Amino acid sequence: MEKISKQEFYSLIKGFEQIPFKQTEAWVTAQSRHDDTKLAFFVDQLPEPLIACVAHVKKKAGLKMYYIEAEAIRYKDIKHAKLTSFFQDLQQTGVDVIEINSPMPYDATYEIALRQAGFLRPVGQFSVALSSYISLENEIKYNDNWKRNMKKAANNQLSFEVIDNAVSDDINDFIKLYNEMSVQKNVAPTFTFSSLRTLLASANFKLFFVKNEQNERIATILIHYNNNHAGLVYAASGEKAHQCAASFFMYDKLFHYLSQQHIKTFDMEKLAPSIHSTNAVFLFKNGIKGEYIVVNGEWSWHKNSFLRPLMYIAKKWFLKKIEW
């Protein structure tokens, strides 16, 4: 186990087969609000690492915690013993709690490695572990509700706008639409102007808009993409978009655009069927026929066992997080 600099980390992982978007330099920089003191960069060995990860460092109530959003892997078929050794070594870096929330498709080898390193599923899970991968190599199939709304959109002279080089006006328009949606759904934004600018300066993120007949931007989507895979990061639409089914139009045009760019799959991210208002989002996303994917999801290790239930209590009752 080696702790290295940010610059060295991203130089070393360039040739890795698996680099989740949440391990990209743009994403971790945006999430840390450009404060590298909140990040730690680890590799299993030098000079040719097989495993690497960025840990978000949190210090609260005298505890040091790492939060890890997946790992970068040189070879996808890496042996679980290597992963086990990596996570055991990570426990020896003066940390009290390690939390992992991996958005990668479920892999039994990964679970075996984590369990043999002493990790368990947390007492309660606060993130969605279900997604859907849409194949862009074949004809995309929609349910009847989507077909009706796409016909409605076709009668409203909508246009699809690809942003190749985002400027301040583009970012402000995105934030405006997201804020409008946030008020309607009572959901607080998890980004800032600066974090969006960081993402959009990277080759791994791209922004799109839908315009109405009056040339107003009424819907938007931000995606991540790398090699032949892409996925949803944020999407937003205002009241004018709802009136003309702009969101349905936007995804359909996005899929056609991505297929022309030789992207093979699109991750819809966070399918959340429930008895709550989030079920409406699930029904919308589920109207596109894809392959259901369960992700590796949440895992945790605690230096002292009493911290395990305390972390649940803190998230559930103090941070008011929703269990899934």
Q: For 2-124+296-318, CATH number? A: 3.40.630.30
* CA-based nearest residue to 98, from 324, 299, 296, 297: 299
Residue 198 has pLDDT above 90, yes or no: yes
Q: Name 242's Cβ contacts closer than 8 Å, sequence gap at least 6.
A: none
pLDDT at 51: 98
| pLDDT for res 322 | 87
Secondary structure E strands in 44-148: 51-60, 63-68, 72-73, 97-105, 130-135
- Compute the distance between CA of residue 298 and CA of residue 16 in angstroms, rounded to an integer: 23
Under DSSP, the state recorded for 27 is: H
| Phi-psi domain of 305 (left: phi exceeds 0; alpha: psi -120 through 50; beta: other) | alpha
Percent of the chain with pLDDT over 90: 90
Q: What is the pLDDT of residue 278?
A: 85
User: Cα separation of 245 and 87, whole Å?
Assistant: 47
Residues 71, 146: Cα–Cα separation, whole Å: 36
Lowest-confidence range among 105-114, 183-192, 204-213, 281-290?
Answer: 183-192
pLDDT the model gives residue 217? 98
Which two tokens mark 50?
């097989």
The pLDDT score that the predictor gives to residue 31 is 93
Q: Which CATH superfamily is domain 137-263 in?
A: Gcn5-related N-acetyltransferase (GNAT) (3.40.630.30)
**Mean per-residue pLDDT over the chain, rounded:** 95
SS3 call for 174: helix
Question: Residue 88 has what pLDDT?
Answer: 98
Model pLDDT, residue 177: 96
Q: Is 166 helix (H, G, I), strand (E, B) or coil?
A: coil
**Tens digit of pLDDT for each residue in 248-276?**
999 999 999 999 999 999 999 999 999 98
pLDDT value at position 238? 87
Take residue 218 and report the two structure tokens written for it.
């009424």
**CA torsion angle for 130, 77, 135, 243 (degrees, to 10)?**
40
With beta carbons less than 8 A apart as the criterion, state whether 166 and 208 touch: no
The band of 58, judged by pLDDT with boundaries at 50, 70 and 90, is very high
What is the pLDDT averaged over residues 64-82? 94
Q: Where in the chain is the domain with CATH 3.40.630.30?
A: 2-124+296-318, 137-263
Average pLDDT for residues 173-181, to the nearest whole number?
A: 94
